[in-house]
Amino acid sequence: MSVVAADRCSKWYGHVLGVSDVTWNLQGGIVGLLGPNGAGKSTLIKMMAGLLRPSRGTLSVFGASPFADVGVRRRIGYAPEHESTWDELTARELVTVMARLAGVPADRAPTAAERAIAEMGMTDAIDRRVKGFSKGMRQRTKLATAIAHDPDFLLLDEPLTGVDPVARVDIVDRIKKLAEAGKTIVISSHVLYEIEALTSEIVVIYRGQVLAEGNVYEIRKLIDRHPHRIRVECDQPRALASVLAAEDHVARIIFERAGVLIETRDPDRCYDQLAAAVLDKGITVSSLSSPDNNLGAVFEYLTGDGRR
Amino acid sequence: MKHEVPTAAATTLTMAALTLKRLARGRVLWVGAIIAALPVMFGALLRARRGPEPAALGDLLWFATLLIAVLPGLFVASSVGEDIEDRTTTYLWSRPVQRGAIVIGKLVAILPILWVLVLASWAASTQVGAQLAPTPNALLAVAGGVTAAAMIAAALATLVPRHGLALTTVYMLFIDFPIGALPASLRYISVSHHVHTIASVRGRAADAPSLAAIALGVICVVWLAIALRRISRLEA
């Protein structure tokens, strides 16, 4: 049985489209849900968590509707994107209450909460109130509330947002351990490398639609086939252009007021040749940037919107 | 370790404990206590102005019904509405619980606090203002009134979470109270009318206190049903 089975599932908020015509089957493992802000990731996750009903089509988790079937939700652990919690509570109290509401018996809930908090590396702050927690600590506490009842299926909505790099590595390791323990995990992010650190299986979602699904390296190739733009502000734009113009991966060079905008189909090669040209010609570069580092721009390429 | 779906009773008790803990650590309880002290001050003021003549119970009950308009909104509508507005409901509704039990749990925690505040306020204000011990009828009326207003607050908070407190207060002051004073059968949907009838302060011969108590019960059930129906259909 599929963990998640969505069949032509759509969700509207009034006239605003959240998710459109999604057909998707998840058998297990850890899957990254990738898309820019507003793409529909949270809507899809909320439907899987039983917080939203599909406007059209069906979505089932373990064969049942998570919105209508209370029982199936005991197998789901959900960490929302937002930071709101009951800040008056300590981490121990919050996770214990969530464990109780997930069906853990009263005598076992405190132990389950302690274990979950320890798994998220928060034991030192277990009796501190959530009100004083940093963003990273809040994320860990949210994850502890999601795992305290030992669910089979975890839904983690942007769990790495706003977390410092050190904490990020730690949280990624802890999520990987949960996957190794046999949990099915769906994790959303708008940052490709965050997802890549966790899994190679991704679903790309954009403007409410599933754009691509599969191995992250295949999707990377798909992204790389489209021209990638590099903006170089320098003192000798013509010299730089003359070196790169002959390269087969360079699709176009546009001269701008303070430099050049290069469109390439092979960003890695282009960056290497750019560095070599700068050194050979003694070019002074004042700025190097890529408008395509924004994931939304890449998705626009994939959907064809970028060419309009 | 796999667990069963929690029973409605277990969910209710867990939510009640959570609500009490939050109240104990928040400011609402203190604000409520200060508001509950106002009728006592009003009673003292009336007593001081009238000299040796005690204040009329009707005047005091009028002020007590103002508490019924404000306190349930402050406690119930805030508690229910804030969870929906702040999206903390996403934690609750993603759990295997009956959503109705979440609202019931909040009411189980809050209603005793409201009863204590309003009844203590009523008892103290009649003692100070009229130098009388409160009658059992009046105590029942005030307790029934605050219960019905709590149900109204719960329903309005699920319908308009952001403005639950304001709407409850406005509803009670500008719809329920005027309707209750009407010499028409429409007054039977008014909480304040039944409170005055049960307390034997106002009402016609046809308005027996026992019937008013039943009517108050019906009002409670109808508004609670609206709250439970609405919460079960809400999306986060």
User: φ, ψ for residue A151 (rounded to 5)?
Assistant: -75, 160
> Cβ separation of B91 and A145 shorter than 8 Å?
yes
Q: Which of B4, B21, B90 sits opposite A93 (nearest CB)?
A: B21
Distance between CA atoms of residues A102 and A75, nearest Å: 9
Q: State the pLDDT at residue B84.
A: 92
pLDDT of residue A140: 93
Work out whether strand A259-264 and strand A250-256 pair parallel, antiparallel, or are unpaired.
antiparallel
Q: Which residue of A has its CA nearest to B98?
A: A70
Measured distance CA(B236)–CA(B224) in Å, rounded: 21
Alpha carbons A139 and A133: distance in angstroms, whole number = 9
Report pLDDT for B236.
Answer: 82
CB proximity list for B22: less than 8 A, separation 6 or greater: A86, A88, A89, B79
Place of tokens 């996750």: A45
In 3D space, the residue among A82, A87, A85 whose CA is nearest the CA of residue A161 turns out to be: A82
pLDDT in tens, A140-197: 999 999 999 999 999 999 998 877 777 888 889 999 999 999 999 999 988 777 788 8
* Whole-number pLDDT of residue B202: 60
The letter for the amino acid at B106 is: K
Please state which CATH class domain A4-214 belongs to: alpha beta
Stretch (H or E) spanning A285: strand A285-289
Average pLDDT over residues B155-177: 95
Residue spans of the domains in chain A: they are 4-214, 225-307
**Token output for B42:** 């009003």
Judge whether A74 is closer than 8 Å to chain B, CB to CB: yes
The angle subtended at Cα B209 by Cα B53 and Cα B205, nearest 5°, is 80
pLDDT at A307: 45
Under an 8 A CB cutoff, do B6 and A101 touch? yes
The pair of structure tokens assigned to A274 is: 């750019």
B101 to chain A, minimum CA–CA distance in Å? 11
Query: If you search the block for the tokens 């209450």, which residue do you land on?
Result: A97
Instruction: Say how far apart CA B174 and CA B32 lie, in whole Å.
Output: 21
pLDDT of res. A222: 67
Determine how many CB atoms are found less than 10 A away from the CB of residue A225. Answer: 12
> At B192, is the pLDDT very low, low, confident or very high (cuts 50, 70, 90)?
very high
Question: pLDDT digits over B49-88, tens only?
Answer: 877 676 677 778 778 888 999 999 999 999 999 999 988 9
Which DSSP category does A90 fall into? B
pLDDT at A156: 96
User: Would an 8 Å CB–CB cutoff place A250 in contact with chain B?
Assistant: no
- Which residues face A16 on adjacent strands? A13
The answer, yes or no, to whether residue B24 has pLDDT greater than 80, is yes
Chain position carrying tokens 């026992």: B210
pLDDT at B4: 82
Q: Angle at the Cα of B171 (from B169 to B176), degrees rounded to 5?
A: 115
Q: Which residue has the tokens 């590595």?
A: A169
pLDDT tens digits in sequence order for chain A, 308 residues long: 789 999 999 999 888 889 999 999 999 899 999 888 888 999 999 999 999 999 999 999 999 999 999 989 999 999 999 888 999 999 999 999 999 999 999 999 999 999 999 999 999 999 999 999 988 899 999 999 999 999 999 999 999 887 777 788 888 999 999 999 999 999 998 877 778 888 889 898 988 999 888 887 777 666 666 677 888 899 999 999 998 988 888 988 999 888 999 988 887 788 888 888 888 888 988 887 776 655 556 666 666 654 44
Tell me the C-alpha to C-alpha distance, in Å, between residue A30 and each of A60, A73, A155, A175, B217: 18, 19, 10, 9, 52
Q: Tell me which of 2.40.50.180, 3.30.70.100, 3.40.50.720, 3.40.50.970 is the CATH number of domain A225-307.
A: 3.30.70.100
* Widest pairwise Cα distance in chain A: 75
pLDDT (average), residues B164-175: 95
Query: Are the Cβ atoms of B96 and A46 closer than 8 angstroms?
Result: no
Is B93 touching A (CB cutoff 8 A)? Answer: yes
Q: Which of B91, B103, B234 to mutate to test the interface with A (most CBs of A within 10 A)?
A: B91
- What's the distance, Cα to Cα, between the start and end of chain B in Å? 29
Q: What was the pLDDT predicted at B134?
A: 85
Contact A78 B94 (CB under 8 A): yes
Number of helices (H), then strands (E), in chain A: 10, 13
